Amino acid sequence: MAKGFFIDLTKCTACRGCQVACKQWKKLPGEKTQNWGSHQNPKDLSYITLKVVHFQEVVVDNKLDYIFFPEQCRHCVSAPCAMQAAKPGAIIQDEATGAVIYTEKTAELKFQDVADSCPYKIPRMDAKTKRISKCDMCLDRVQNNKLPACVLTCPTGAMNFGELEAMSAMAKKRLEEVKKTTPKAVLGDPDDVRVIYLFPVDPKLYHQNAVASLEAPLMTRKQLLAKAATPLRRLFS
């Protein structure tokens, strides 16, 4: 059955255990960072950093607060990046879990087309190999009945993983509880993604791409043609 995450931001303390666990499990090198005036490091996702915890100082209801956002791929139910991929096999969606997977064939795609298709601006490219990367739901772990590394390491219960239907139910139940004290709380695009965030305050305070923008550009004519031609390419490949 389809899998999913529920990330409860009311419980996130920005310990960055998830960020480190992702690096550790994937055996990804560290980033060269420097002090830039925030506890957050690195500043953004990259080809070798698939998860970043964002730190924001905000004023909500005339009170200063520190909020945290562990950013990762949302594994969209209908992934735009997969739909527009011009090379068969470059971006696939695992049938059992729904995980959106980028393969070595992404090096044959035009990175900007992939990046522009993502409503959350997640994909990153390696400058040397031209391959594109992002979170893969720790598919190797999930296929062996283990939790994704980020979920396993979370000490507060902010990160949860399981059957998508169960995660959706958990998110809705928790939202009802949180709304009793934080009425502006919302779920981020719960019907469209497999990574459901609970935002106690306006999602845009967390990150500009925390939720899909209603103003996001539609697929370009080139992307639409690529999508339409995909079945034919598969037929003759």
- Reported as a single tens digit per residue, the pLDDT across 110-149 is 999 999 999 999 999 999 999 999 999 999 999 999 999 9
CATH of the domain at 10: 3.30.70.20
- Would you say residue 230 lies in a domain? yes
Residue 1 has a pLDDT of 81
Q: Phi/psi at 203 (nearest 5 deg)?
A: -55, -35
> Can you tell me the distance from the alpha carbon of 106 to that of 94, in angstroms, rounded to the nearest whole number?
16
Instruction: Look at residues 149, 116, 135, 100 and name the one whose alpha carbon lies nearest to residue 219.
Output: 116
- Would you say residue 38 lies in a domain? no
**Which stretches does DSSP call E strand in the chain?**
3-8, 52-60, 63-71, 91-93, 100-102, 124-125, 132-133, 159-163, 186-187, 195-199
- Would you say residue 93 lies in a domain? yes
Residue 61 has a pLDDT of 87
- Would you say residue 222 lies in a domain? yes
- Would you say residue 137 lies in a domain? yes
State the total domains in the chain.
1
- Would you say residue 41 lies in a domain? no
- Would you say residue 34 lies in a domain? no
Residue 145 has a pLDDT of 97
Residue 107 has a pLDDT of 98
Q: Which domain holds residue 71?
A: 1-26+48-237
Helix (H) or strand (E) holding 169: helix 164-179
| Spans in the chain with pLDDT lower than 70 | 214-237
Percentages helix, strand, coil for the chain (3-state, rounded to 5) are: 30, 20, 50
85-90 long-range contacts (CB < 8 A, ≥24 apart) are 85/109, 85/114, 85/226, 85/230, 86/110, 86/113, 86/226, 86/229, 86/230, 86/233, 88/230, 88/233, 88/234, 88/237
185-189 long-range contacts (CB < 8 A, ≥24 apart) are 185/10, 189/74
- Would you say residue 6 lies in a domain? yes
